[in-house]
Amino acid sequence: MDSFLIEGGVVLRGDVNISGSKNAVLPIMAATLLTAETCVIRRVPDLSDVRFMGKILESIGAEVQFEDHTLTIRAANVRGFGDYDLIRKMRGSICILGPLLARLREATVSLPGGCVIGTRPIDLHLKAIAALGAELRVAGGYVHAKAPRLDGALVFLGGRAGPTVLGTANLLMAATLADGVTVIESAACEPEIIDLADFLKAMGANIHGAGSPTITVTGVKELHGAEHEVIPDRIEAGTFAVAAAATGGSVTLRGARPDHLGAVLDKLQESGVRIERSAGALTVRGNGVLRPVDATTMPYSGFPTDMQAQLMALMCLAPGTSIITERIFESRFMHASELMRLGADIAIEGPSAIVKGGRPLSGAPVMASDLRASAALVVAGMAAGGTTQVNRVYHLDRGYEKMEEKLERLGARISRVPGE
């Protein structure tokens, strides 16, 4: 397995182009199953998750071409089941359930996997699909769904940790071809849901309220092909913003959407980082003096769980005590022990991490446990003295396009070491 070798102590400076959103493009790829016509998706990040999702769609029978950050997908002849071993390895694959059921009225999808960051049940997905009239059975590692017809319904999607993003996406796609009106209450409000709705509307869907807690979908008889450009990745932008702050640098994020980053930018400014907004870009300037901040992860528009690990790495550098509370996933502090290998002072108490920052970090070999933990370790490694080796960076390749190359262009001393 590949690793990153990082020589710390370098100030990041320059411009970086923010790629298309991983969390937006995966359900959009699934939505192409709703039509037999060709769909073209632009600004697609070249990630292992995107290529993996392409293989899943091909296993169902779709034709997938990926070239120069553009996906062309034609799902003219698809079947209601895919490759079990492919689908179970990626959590995002569960979002093929809704469109397959809507298009074919029958679907068999293996239970999904993904990063090991806590229990992530799909009960709300199943509740939503069942509310439209589908018969569901979970057996042998598969979800079997059948529905001679789908009928619009009022569906409440609130869960223990708030609305479900993928569950909202699944129901949204299924409802586009259902008879009548579907009202989704306590829907996820993330920008990625708005982006999916925009793509579905370009395909001919009738959707109102995306981005709010109530989404109304009036079913149509069929959808057609469409072209769409994916929104920029707010988590990649947030990660590079934290990297600039951690190194005391100045980095301009080309293509970043400040309106998607409100909670992240607020915490950065609270910690003493300067933020400058301009047309089509965002500049982050670290002044070398960080202040501790407290943060609690929440559904959008609160502080995102996907930025929790990166903020923790930054707070290791801020003199004083920060408290970071995780309310979305119960096991998302696995990076804390690896940050401690670099010299961080972190104590875990229930859902909170107490970070006593300001101690110098020193390089060491560390192990990435999931996608965002990997990013946090890279940030910490760049701020640490000496050499840090981040192992198992295949996690990073799932969600960051050529991260080491982008960082190197900003001045970081970072290289990929091929695994054996």
Residues with catalytic function: 115
Distance of CA 322 to the CA centre of its chain: 25
Residue 145: CB atoms within 10 A of its CB come to 25
CA distance 104 to 111: 19
CA distance 271 to 245: 9
Q: Tell me which amino acid residue 178 is.
A: A
For the chain, the three-class secondary structure string (H helix, E strand, C coil) is CCEEEEECCCCCEEEEECCECHHHHHHHHHHHHHCCCEEEEECCCCCHHHHHHHHHHHHHCCEEEEECCEEEEECCCCCCECCHHHHCCCHHHHHHHHHHHHHHCEEEEECCCCCCCCCCCCHHHHHHHHHCCCEEEEECCEEEEECCCCECCEEECEECCEECHHHHHHHHHHHCCCECEEEEECCCCCHHHHHHHHHHHHCCCEEECCCCCEEEEECCCCCCCCEEECCECHHHHHHHHHHHHHCCCEEEEECCCHHHCHHHHHHHHHCCCEEEEECCEEEEECCCCCCCCCEEECCCCCECHHHHHHHHHHHCCCCEEEEEECCCCCCCCHHHHHHHHCCCEEEEECCEEEEEECCCCECCEEECCCHHHHHHHHHHHHHCECEEEEECCHHHHHHCCCHHHHHHHCCCEEEEECCC
Query: Would you state the torsion angle of the CA atoms of residues 246, 252, 258, 262, taken in this order, to the nearest 10 degrees?
Result: 10
